[in-house]
Amino acid sequence: MTATTSTPASLPRQLTLDEEGKRLGFRMTLPTQILILFIAVFPLLMQIYISLTDWSPLDGVSWISAYESWNNFANFVDLIQDDRLWAALRRTFLVMAVCVPAQFFLALGLAVLFVDNFIGKRLFYSILLTPMMVVPSVAGYMFFMLFQSGGPINGIISGVTGMDFAVAWLSDPHLALVAVMIADVWQWTPLMFLILLAGLIGVPEDQLRAATLLGASWWQRFTTIMLPRIKIVIVIALAIRVVEIFKIFDTLYVMTGGGPGVATETISVYIYKITTQDLTWAYVAAIALFILITLSVLANMALRRMGRRS
């Protein structure tokens, strides 16, 4: 900072601008620091504490006295043997493994179409971005309607094939998960599209023109100039979707409630169900802790690897 003015000798206690700035800056971050303490650090300690007991809100004792039901890590032993938990985790990763690549390739294709100008670009762009702005639970309800056995999806299929098509998508264990994936792809491909397009627009045009002059085909320009240039953009887009799909809840829960049976139960839905139905909050705290630790480790590994590369 260049504006360091020296304090007049007559006013020795007055702060220099730099000191004033540091002090102000610290004060300005204070509310956020307090909120983080209040909402992240303290709850985390509370979560660890509760996860080591058998405490439940039904007990009628304050959570502070939870130590009375200390259970020697029994929650964590249960967790390892909880088949429903592992199935929910596997299902979450399955949705991720299908949806993220699908969203990526659809979005990349669309973004390529949108790089240069054409008539109606702005209008089409706005329409294509709409799904990500629709409230996710409302989107869930839209797809709930669409996938009814007498609903429009079957109607469209019937119309195209000429057969009387009436599949009960949401009550079939396999199709329900497919329906959920379709809804997710519908809602979040636009986000990938938005990010990838932002990256592609940033690719310098003179490089592309130079490549054209050298006789590179469109595909060669795409793979040798455009893709490498937007590598970091692609990584960010994929990372955002991976993180978000891991949390998938709203759309899915509105569409299927995790059912039929447990066929669409992802990790968030499973935790939600035992939180509100079984009320075994100590066990939920243990599961939540397990997930938090796993995610932190994975995220730190990913960040470190990315840091080493760049």
Q: Which of residues 225-284 bind another protein (CB under 8 A)?
A: 233, 236-237, 240, 243, 246-247, 249-250, 253-254, 267-268, 271-272, 275-276, 281, 284
Alpha-carbon distances, residue 118 vs 125, 218, 263 (angstroms): 11, 18, 44
14: which 2 tokens?
């007055």
**CA-to-CA distance for 146 and 283, rounded, in angstroms?**
37
**CA-to-CA distance for 111 and 199, rounded, in angstroms?**
9
Q: Which of residues 32-51 bind another protein (CB under 8 A)?
A: 32-33, 35-36, 38-40, 42-44, 46-47, 50
Q: Which residue, 35 or 97, has its beta carbon nearer to another protein?
A: 35
Stretch that binds another protein, among 67-75, 82-90, 93-101, 292-300 (CB under 8 A): 292-300
Contact string 127-166 vs another protein (x = CB under 8 A): xxxxxxxxxxxxx-xxx-xx-xxxxx-xx--x-----x-x
**CA-to-CA distance for 21 and 73, rounded, in angstroms?**
49
Least Å from the CB of residue 143 to another protein: 6
Contact string 162-181 vs another protein (x = CB under 8 A): --x-x---------------
Q: Which of residues 83-102 bind another protein (CB under 8 A)?
A: none
**CA-to-CA distance for 170 and 177, rounded, in angstroms?**
8
Least Å from the CB of residue 169 to another protein: 13
Instruction: Please choose, from the candidates 189, 195, 223, 201, the residue with its C-alpha nearest in 3D space to the C-alpha of residue 115.
Output: 201
Out of 6, 10, 81, 126, the residue judged to bind another protein by CB under 8 A: 126
65: which 2 tokens?
């006295």
# residues contacting another protein (CB under 8 A): 102
Are the C-beta atoms of 227 and 86 separated by less than 8 Å? Answer: no
Alpha-carbon distances, residue 30 vs 16, 44, 46 (angstroms): 21, 20, 23
9: which 2 tokens?
């000798």
Least Å from the CB of residue 278 to another protein: 13
